[in-house]
Amino acid sequence: MTRDITLLDKIYTIPKFSEMTRMIDEQPTYYKRGIELGWKIKKEEVACPRTVYFYGLGGSGIVGQLFSVVFTSYTKVPIIASNSVKIADWLGPDDLLIVVSYSGETFETLRAFNEARRKGVRVVAMTSGGSLAEMARKNGVQLIELSKGFPPRMSLPEMAGAAASMLDNIDVTINAAKALLESAEMLIEVVKESNPNSPFENNTAKKAAIHLYGSIPGVFCSGHLYVSGIRLKNQLNENAKYPCIVHEIPESMHNTLEALPYSERDKYLLFRSSNETVDITSQMRFIASTLSDVSMEVWFRGSVVYEAMASIMWSDYVSIYLAALREVDPITVARIAALRKELERSIKKT
């Protein structure tokens, strides 16, 4: 399958694509806006927990994954991210649950909020409104109120900013907000290189979209870039209605490796990092030579936090380009919406 690559230069002129693309361009601003929110949390009752436990699903869950994966050197307290059916049974009064639901209506998140309250777990709610905001106010639970009007997945930068300053604020992390802020300033480089105005020759995001178009995409990633691999998958799923399989190194080299390629339609991206250890470099090279005809390397360079943020932003651009190539609306997620309705019905019945 081939597509006219000049289409990718015209994204800003097509309303259904331009709206979300501008949200990506604006990520540096959203990180900063989020940071202001987190400083407002009052330390009493939530400071110095045994563990920080993020709970959220989909677009609201990835902020927890970002902190548990990328900010491990900023904390002395375990930061755990869960997107399972329920919160862990071991959570107790010494732990802090950060319960995240952009819409404030996700069934599982509301259940997690109630369960945590029942068990005496310290709770902070992060949402743009809805039932979660109401429940938090009613129960005297501290609330981080996110800006309204985003598709949940596009709220990640604001959520991340808010989480960073909140965690600094309550003495869980040191200088997480500073690291995020410094990196946000530099993201302008990613905007310049990867947005629709940047020509194909210099634009790895456009190249990646063309590389993956018509394929079953896989991404190899490691360490702090694992969360970006997840982000790429989720954004391809939601924005481009497109599959993607995440392969983490080293884990996938102990199992997945024996089964590659999954099909004759496989295409791969390799997320490379200037912070790679020698063993990761060796494994990346091995996989690149094993899949040389169908793989493309993408390099990120800078601090661990900057690379994570840059690769998230880059992945978001790729998803918009793939949505355009596939001529699908990046905003609407019809099946997810249908399932949510179905779920509501079946829970009300019981």
Q: Which of 47, 186, 191, 216 binds a second copy (CB under 8 A)?
A: 216
Q: How many helices (H) and strands (E) does the chain have?
A: 13, 9
Identity of the amino acid at 292: S
- For residue 28, state whether it binds a second copy (rule: CB under 8 A): no
Where in 153-212 is the site for a second copy (CB under 8 A)?
Answer: none
CA distance linking residue 296 with residue 309, whole number of Å: 20
H or E segment to which residue 69 belongs:
helix 62-70
- For residue 327, state whether it binds a second copy (rule: CB under 8 A): no
- For residue 108, state whether it binds a second copy (rule: CB under 8 A): yes
The answer, yes or no, to whether the previous bond of 250 is cis (omega within 30 of 0) is yes
| Burial readout 110-125 (b: 16 or more C-beta within 10 A, e: otherwise) | bebbebbeeeebbbbb
- For residue 1, state whether it binds a second copy (rule: CB under 8 A): no
CA distance linking residue 115 with residue 104, whole number of Å: 16
Closest to a second copy by CB, 37 or 211: 211
Q: Which of 20, 69, 181, 318 binds a second copy (CB under 8 A)?
A: 69
- For residue 281, state whether it binds a second copy (rule: CB under 8 A): yes
Using alpha carbons only, what angle is made at residue 34 by residues 171 and 308, rounded to the nearest 5 degrees?
Answer: 80
Q: Which of 43, 48, 73, 329 binds a second copy (CB under 8 A)?
A: 73
Stretch that binds a second copy, among 117-125, 139-147, 155-163, 239-247 (CB under 8 A): 239-247
Q: Which of 31, 242, 268, 314 binds a second copy (CB under 8 A)?
A: 242
- For residue 57, state whether it binds a second copy (rule: CB under 8 A): yes
Q: Which of 3, 26, 78, 130 binds a second copy (CB under 8 A)?
A: 78
H or E segment to which residue 284 belongs:
helix 278-290
- For residue 226, state whether it binds a second copy (rule: CB under 8 A): yes
Closest by CA to 224, choosing from 318, 303, 317, 319, is 303
- For residue 51, state whether it binds a second copy (rule: CB under 8 A): yes
Closest to a second copy by CB, 84 or 114: 84
